[in-house]
């Protein structure tokens, strides 16, 4: 076989090898892009969960502050013998407990 034909065949084989390599790189790129999309979706889901948990935490902290104040006021009313204030606070405590228990009865404590 003459050298020119050999060079052409070598060049064609080289181009075929390049094409195979390019295809492999494209496939790898597609795989990486797919993984990136999945990772972004997972990250977004985790961020949403984090925000929900932070909101729940803030709600619990606010509720605890409300309960702590109510208990302190109740004890103060008890020390002062203010039974009317105690009765009103008892109703608030029952409403809080009912709301926490998911009670949406006639008191409307379902929150």
Q: What is the pTM assigned to this prediction?
A: 0.56
Quote the pLDDT of residue 1.
Answer: 77
Task: Output the pLDDT for position 101.
Answer: 67
Answer for the pair 96, 67: CB distance below 8 angstroms, yes or no. yes
- Residue ranges of domains in the chain: 3-100
* pLDDT tens across the length of the chain (111 residues): 798 999 999 999 999 999 999 999 999 999 999 999 999 999 999 999 999 999 999 999 998 898 888 888 888 888 888 888 888 888 887 887 787 766 454 444 443
How far apart are the C-alpha atoms of 48 and 51, rounded to whole Å?
5
């Amino acid at each position: 076989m003459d050298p020119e034909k050999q060079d052409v065949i070598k060049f064609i084989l080289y181009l075929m090898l390049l094409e195979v390599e390019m295809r492999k790189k494209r496939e790898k790129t597609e795989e990486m892009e797919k993984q990136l999309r999945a990772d972004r979706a997972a990250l977004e889901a985790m961020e949403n969960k984090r925000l929900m948990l932070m909101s729940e935490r803030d709600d619990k902290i606010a509720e605890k502050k409300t309960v702590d104040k109510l208990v302190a006021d109740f004890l103060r009313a008890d020390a002062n013998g203010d039974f009317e204030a105690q009765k009103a606070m008892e109703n608030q405590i029952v409403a809080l407990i009912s709301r926490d228990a998911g009670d949406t009865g006639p008191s409307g404590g379902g929150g």
